[in-house]
Structures are given as C-alpha cells and as structure tokens.
Chain A
Amino acid sequence: MKKFLALILVLAMTLSLVSCGTSGSSQSNTSNKTLNIGVFEPASGDNGAGGKQETLGIQYANSVTPTVEINGETYSVALKIVDNQSATDKAPTAAQQLVSDGVSVVLGSYGSGVSMAAAPIFEQAKIPAIGASCTNPAVTQNRPYYFRVCFIDPFQGSVMANFVKDQFNAKKAYVLNMLGEDYGSGLATYFANAFKKQGGEVKAEAFPEGTSDFSAYIQNAISYGADVIFAPSATTYASLIISQAASAGCKIPITGGDTWESSVILDAQKGTNLKVYVSTFFDENDKSGVAATFVTGFKAWLNADPQRKTDNGGNDIVAAVSALGYDAYMTAIEAIKTANSTTGEDIKNAMPKVSFDGVTGHISFPNGGDAAKSEAFIKQADNGAFKFIKRQSSTS
C-alpha cells in the first residue's frame, strides 16, 4: 500500500515535471512582443526590507517606461521577479530561475554577497546584470557581465572616513560588522584603511549571524574611548545596535553605510538622543530636474496602493535604493535601445555606450562595470526623518 502510494507520488511528480518544463516557455501567448527583464532582489531575510524598496523603484520605472522600441517594433517590458532570500546558498537557484524564464537582462541585487554568488550563473548564460546598490568591488571585478549604477565601497569607505574627521574630529573609531557578510566586512575594511591613512586608530570587531545582544560590543566601544562607531550592517541588526546603544546611554555618534538609509533606522533612532549618520546615493530634497520629477511621481505611485506603502516601510519617504532601482531600469532600457536587440550578449556590448542623466547623477561606464560616481550624500537620522547634511566626495 505504501509502495503504491510512493509510486503514485513519483508519477505525479514526473507529470508535473513535464508540465513545468514546458509551461515556462509557453507563457507568452499574447500578440505583443515581450521583453523580459529579471529582478533579482531579496524580499525576505536580513536584506528583505531594502530589497523590497529597490524592487519598488524598478516597478515604478516599469510603469513610467513600460515599452521599448527595438528595430522599429514596440516591445512591452515584463518584469520577472525572484526572491533570493538574502542567502548566498539560495541565490544561485533563484538566478537559475531567471535564466530559465528567458530574461534578456537582470537588475539587482541589493546585497553584494548574493550578487557575487549569482554572477557566474548570469555570466554562463551570457545575460548582463546591472546592480543597483551592491557596492562591494568584487561584484564587478573580473566579471564582464556585471555592471552597477552605484558607487563602490572603497569610495564609500573613504567618504565616511573624511566625514567623521571633518564633523567630529574623530581620532579613534570602533568598527563593527557581521561575520560572513561581504558588504559589511568589505566596507568596514575600506573605512578602516582610509581612517588609518588619515592618522586615526581603529578597533574592529565582527559579530556572528543571528546576534541579538549587542550590549557587549557597545561596552567595548565605550571602554575603547571611540569618537565614532561605524557599523555597516543589514537593517535588522542596525536597529538592534541603535536601540541598545540608546539604552546603554552611549553618547558616541553612530554611522553606517548605504544600507542604513531606511525607515527601520528612523524608527530605531526616534525618541533617543543618538546622533546617527548614513552615507547614501540620493537625497529626496534634491531639487534638480530629473530627481524632483522622480520624487513627486514615485510618491504619488506609492500612495496609490497601500501594499506598496507597506513594502516601503509604511511611509512614502523615498529610499535611495528605490532611486537606484529606477536608474538601473532606465540604464537597461538605454542599453537595449542602443543594442537594438533582445539578446543578452548584444545588450552587454552596448553598456559602455550608455550615458544619460539618471536620478542619482550622471550614469556612464568609462571603465569596466562600475558607474562613474564621485559624490555621496551624508544624512542624519533625526526623529523620524532624514536630514540632509552635506555632499561628500572622497577627497576633501
């Protein structure tokens, strides 16, 4: 009886195997021509909050520019969204899912670790990938098929080092990041190197995954006599660090990288007297042309659907990663138009020719896959909103 059931189970599985194998290719039954763009973002896990915001930016861009002209024909652009769960072991399968969905170009991911894990798969399938906010340099190094529209961590690290020296005259820094997290450990190292080059001292520590208790680390920072704490990490841990620093009565200013530009940080800082600063790619209050149009349009789009507002963190504050997502999508559209083809290989070859004014600045790829970005925005999390402090470049 049980063996019979087992055989039935296996037969059922095989049948669905056959149907799944063919159904993936027969989806496009409409009369329009469609071009698939893959969205490779986390929707759950440590980076889920940021990934959702980045996806919102891409979806908004898709609603603004839903079609593209190739060889005189109009193609409608369909987004294929997968969730890489912020995990480097789930990322390859999610990437393969996109490949088998027949995408021409991939956007993403939020999170350098998953981008690096998926890069060989996109490369093998000859599909170019445009990262929006993954800042670790290893994502594009030696990877001709990976591009990004944001700045990279060596730049971001020195920007923060310059900022803390200017703002706080900091001589000692306490650096904290998560073990095994490529973005955080990379950015921490670059910051530490830049800070030491300025003549400062650094104490660096790493916490294991799943840590909830940061009181010991905060104590370490206090007893070290740090002038500033630099803790690039996912938002889940950031909110714990901030609230525990507040309850320990720690007065040291806390700084983070671009992942900290999120409503999670605002919620954590609200009601405390902590000084929290982040470096990021975009400022909502930037009044220059393209950015202002984007901000008004995006806010209206967010407010039109309550689910979108929830995904954005329950409000309509424009996150920098959404702006980057928007720019990534537009970059892809530009590349497709220049390449005049839906083949991944052609789009990849067209990328160096792309040059336009995006929401986060001018986008071009002068060498390799990294966009030429020379400025970062420093903001302060102050009682529920981000206050723009200054624009910082790496040499000031």
Chain B
Amino acid sequence: MSRILPYLLGGISVGGQYALIAIGYTMVYGILRLINFAHGDIFTAAGFFMVYATASLPLYLSIPLVILLTIFMGVLVERAAYKPLRSAPRMSVMISAIGVSYLLQNVMWYITGGLAKRYPVIPWISDSVTVLGYTTKRVTIITPFLTVILVIALVILIKKTKIGMAMRAASRDFETAQLMGIKIDNVISFTFVVGSALAAVGSMLYFSNYATVTPVVGAMPGLKAFVAAVFGGIGSIPGAVLGGFIIGISETLIKGAGLTTFSDAVTFALLIIILVVKPTGLFGEKPTQKV
C-alpha cells in the first residue's frame, strides 16, 4: 500500500483537475449536445491570462480578473461560434468547435511567440507539505477537496434554483423548454459562465502543480477530461467528477507500473470499453425508447 500511496496521491490530484474541466464539457453537452473542443483551449487561455496579469498586478487582483476574463472568453466563443449554428446539423457545430480550438491555439501561439511561459507561484497552495511520509505540494491535497466542494455547490445550484431548473429542462428537451417560456439564450450563456469559471479555477490548480504554460498544454487534458465526462455519464455532473478521478488515478498507476508509453492510450482504452459495455456511462440515464 505504501508503495502505491504516492501514485494514488498524484492520481487524485490530476484527477481532480480533470474533473473540474470535465464538468464544463458535461454541462455543455447536456444542453447543447455539443462537444466543446475549445474548452481545453479556454483552460489554457486562463493560464496565460494569469501569467500576463501577475506581471503587472498583485495576486489578489489577478485571480478574480483571470476568472472574469475566462468567463468573458467562454461566453464570447459561445455567442460568436455556436449560437449562429444552433439550428444546423450536429456535425457543423462540432466542426465549428474544432475551428475555434484551432483559432485559439494559433492566437495564443502568435501572442506568446510559441515559447513556454512560467506560471506565477501562488503562495500557500504551492508550499510543500508532508503527508504520511511523502512530500508533495499542498495543492495536491487541496484539489480533491476543492473539487468536491465546488461540485456540491453546483449540484445545489442545479437542483434548488430557478436557473438550475431551467438548465435541467433545457437538457431534457430543448424545444419544449423554449415553448415553456425559458429564455434559452440566457440559460446557455449561464452554462458557459459556470463551465468557464470552473475551468479557470481548474487552471489555477493545474498550473500551480505543473508550472509551464504552452499554447498546446490544454489539448490533451481537455480531451482526457471529455473522456472522463463520457465515462461518468454525459450530462451527469457527479459522473463527470468520478470519471475524472478514475481516469487520473489509472493514468498515474500505469505510469508507476512502467508502461509509460500507454499512459495516454489507457485513457482512451477505458473510453472504448465504457462505450461498448455501457454507452451511457457510469451514471448516465437511459434515454426512453420511443416506438
């Protein structure tokens, strides 16, 4: 057990970060049936915002500014690239998402000159602590707790507030929700607000752990977070979180077992297995069969 503990710790930490990103994916997919490929790049952009913000502003101003900027970017992407195609076939929207992802990566590459930037050190959470005899950064321990707290807050939001009810209605049946008088544009924008805010928080945790930001750093975690969302059941937030942790832990354990070539591949292998065995994911709902 003690041999596995450091790997477990690492896996829980990275799993928590995947979970925060996965929530954004699963919420957007639940309502819009769209895989938001650009989400990983919004996550990366949040990292860059922080790098540039802390160059001129103190930390306690930078953090809220970064969250606001990320939210603004997420909503902008939605308004510019997804809203016009809302009535188009599914493939067009997905292609638009891929196009936005491509655009964001190239813009970030251009602005930063393609070089890696060092993420600023956020005090206290970046300190080293010793847990059960193993030294690690405090952020590793905080991440799962923070994730769980945010998820509980989010679930309360969805279950107990009006906007949450509107989101649930929209994800159940898009057209009927509109007929019921729900302002669908606001609901969708709110979804992106929440998703982007979580991505911004996730980026702060992620980059405190892995302090180098490059324009393509978000691509693989974004994809893995989407796999986590599918694994846990698309449309279900607790499922996305559980999926994130499972993916993070398995990936780290595979690295520990010495099969590092396959650490990315194992994530996709898990995806294929769940798609073949239980396509709706661990917590997904079975769609009612209409005759």
* A touches B in complex, CB < 8 A: yes
Chain A interfacial positions (CB closer than 8 Å to B): 43-45, 48-49, 52, 83, 85, 179, 205-208, 210-213, 215-217, 219-220, 223, 235-236, 239-240, 243-244, 246-249, 264, 267
Chain A residues with Cβ under 8 A from B14's Cβ? 213
A sample of 10 inter-chain contacts (CB < 8 A) reads A44-B114, A48-B113, A48-B114, A83-B114, A213-B252, A215-B9, A223-B3, A239-B116, A240-B212, A247-B126
Contact digits for B132-156, partner A, Cβ 8 Å, 1 yes 0 no: 0011110000000000000000000
The answer to whether B211 touches A219 (Cβ under 8 A) is no
A49 touches which of B116, B126, B220, B255 (Cβ 8 Å): B116
CA distance A205 to B256 in the complex (A): 10
Q: Give the interface residue-count category, chain B.
A: 35 or more
The answer to whether B136 touches A240 (Cβ under 8 A) is no
CA distance A83 to B110 in the complex (A): 13
Instruction: Determine, out of B65-73, B91-99, B186-194, B257-265, the stretch whose residues face the partner at the interface.
Output: B257-265
- Minimum CB distance partner of B138 in chain A: A247
CA distance A196 to B212 in the complex (A): 34
CA distance A175 to B220 in the complex (A): 24
Chain B residues with Cβ under 8 A from A208's Cβ? 260-261, 263-264
Given A213-B210, A248-B135, 12 more pairs with CB closer than 8 A = A44-B113, A45-B114, A48-B114, A179-B261, A206-B261, A207-B263, A212-B221, A219-B7, A240-B210, A247-B128, A247-B135, A247-B136
Chain B residues with Cβ under 8 A from A49's Cβ? 115-116
B113 touches which of A43, A220, A264 (Cβ 8 Å): A43
Contact digits for B236-248, partner A, Cβ 8 Å, 1 yes 0 no: 0000000000000
CA distance A44 to B137 in the complex (A): 30
The answer to whether A243 touches B211 (Cβ under 8 A) is yes
CA distance A297 to B7 in the complex (A): 50
**9 closest cross-chain pairs (CB), A and B:** A44-B114, A249-B135, A216-B255, A212-B210, A215-B10, A247-B137, A236-B116, A219-B6, A48-B115
- The interface centre, meaning the residue of B126, B135, B260 with most chain A CB atoms within 10 A of its CB, is B260
How many whole Å from A344's CB to the nearest CB in chain B? 29
Chain B residues with Cβ under 8 A from A52's Cβ? 115
CA distance A147 to B234 in the complex (A): 55
CA distance A220 to B255 in the complex (A): 9
The answer to whether A210 touches B115 (Cβ under 8 A) is no
The answer to whether A219 touches B10 (Cβ under 8 A) is yes
CA distance A217 to B260 in the complex (A): 9
- Minimum CB distance partner of A176 in chain B: B260
- Contact status of A217 and B255, CB under 8 A, knowing A44-B114, A206-B261, A210-B219: yes
Chain A residues with Cβ under 8 A from B13's Cβ? 215
Chain A residues with Cβ under 8 A from B128's Cβ? 246-247, 249
- Minimum CB distance partner of A49 in chain B: B115
The answer to whether B258 touches A205 (Cβ under 8 A) is yes
Chain A residues with Cβ under 8 A from B258's Cβ? 205, 220
How many whole Å from A185's CB to the nearest CB in chain B? 12
- The interface centre, meaning the residue of A211, A223, A240, A247 with most chain B CB atoms within 10 A of its CB, is A247
CA distance A330 to B222 in the complex (A): 47
- Minimum CB distance partner of A234 in chain B: B116
Chain A residues with Cβ under 8 A from B217's Cβ? 210, 212
How many whole Å from B203's CB to the nearest CB in chain A? 12
How many whole Å from A203's CB to the nearest CB in chain B? 9
CA distance A85 to B110 in the complex (A): 12
Chain A residues with Cβ under 8 A from B174's Cβ? none
The answer to whether B210 touches A244 (Cβ under 8 A) is yes
Q: Does B268 contact A (CB under 8 A)?
A: no
The answer to whether B212 touches A239 (Cβ under 8 A) is yes
Chain B residues with Cβ under 8 A from A244's Cβ? 209-210
Q: Does B278 contact A (CB under 8 A)?
A: no
Contact digits for B1-28, partner A, Cβ 8 Å, 1 yes 0 no: 0010011011001100000000000000
CA distance A240 to B263 in the complex (A): 18
The answer to whether A239 touches B118 (Cβ under 8 A) is yes
Q: Does B214 contact A (CB under 8 A)?
A: yes
CA distance A264 to B115 in the complex (A): 11
Q: Does B216 contact A (CB under 8 A)?
A: yes
CA distance A281 to B116 in the complex (A): 24
How many whole Å from B152's CB to the nearest CB in chain A? 26
Chain B residues with Cβ under 8 A from A246's Cβ? 128
- Minimum CB distance partner of B130 in chain A: A249
CA distance A247 to B127 in the complex (A): 8
How many whole Å from B183's CB to the nearest CB in chain A? 34
